[in-house]
Amino acid sequence: DCHAHGMALLCMTAAFALSTPAYAARVGSLARASALRATAVRMMAIAAKPEGTPGTEEFKVTFADGADAKSPWHDIPLEAGDGLYNFVNEIPKYTTAKMEVDTKAPHNPIVQDEKKGKLRYYHGCIFWNYGCLPQTWEDPNVKGNDDVGGAFGDNDPIDVVEIGSKVIEMGAVTKVKALGVLSMIDDGELDWKVIAIAADDPMAKELNDIADVEAKMPGVVSGIREWFRWYKTPDDKPLNGFGHGEKALGAKEAKEVIEETHGFYKKLLDGTTDKGKLWIP
């Protein structure tokens, strides 16, 4: 029976195709894409909400999914798909209030940092959007290598300096492309600064590595380095230093640092590392 023989051959061919590595890879790719879409839908439901009056101790930005309080540190995924990361903006460019995710308060709202009972302000505006990557943590128990003088982590999510053209609102979550990283040493602690750009910025397609930033946005990398070197000196603090010979490392190294701090975060979350005073859900 030619018909039966043909159907059997067709089934065998289909079975072979379904068993190939290429098909398995395609299925895996589709599954990951589906998971990312589901994550995006969940993230769209998490909204930032300012509360109180800016410039007062009561002011904060909280996060919620409807009536459910959420954390910008714990409830927003690190990865945004296509090699991008979710960036939580704490300080919009051209502002001076020193805002940060409060890692010790329930649900980690963004609040203004205080010192000796006074709200902290930069002595001049910051020229970039500044915030952090969720689900990362610079472990204060881990000693860095000789490139960073053996400095330990600063006990915070990893910082991001977003160099795009737009002012990003406080609390906004933006997909960014990691381009490089500076290993700042602040008061003896390792305080990585990821240099990134919003994925929808007009320059994003032209920038893929730190060398592209140097070539197409000259002065930006050195500007970031010098701003963070000097910003505490009006308070009679010493200059901040930098590891790796003060060099800005490239995109590959930046992604490795992000992955490392994500690993530290996962150990914090599962209890392998003691949380201390940090708020963990």
Shortest CA distance to 131 belongs to which of 93, 94, 96, 166?
A: 93
Question: Cα–Cα distance between 2 and 24 in angstroms, integer?
Answer: 31
Cβ proximity of 192 and 156 under 8 Å = no
Active-site pick, 23, 122, 231, 265: 122
Sign of the C-alpha dihedral, residues 193, 104, 264, 50? negative
Contact present, 92 and 167 (Cβ < 8 Å): yes
Say if strands 84-91 and 99-101 run parallel, antiparallel, or are unpaired. Answer: unpaired
Helix (H) or strand (E) holding 91: strand 84-91
When computed from its CA atoms, the radius of gyration of the chain, rounded to whole angstroms, is: 22
Known catalytic membership, residue 122: yes
Which residue type does 93 have? K
Burial 176-204 (b: 16+ CB within 10 A, else e): bbbbbbbbbbbeebbbbbbbbbbbebeeb
Please state, in angstroms and as integers, the Cα–Cα distance from residue 65 to each residue in 5, 75, 145, 233, following that order: 57, 10, 41, 41
Give catalytic residues, as residue numbers: 122
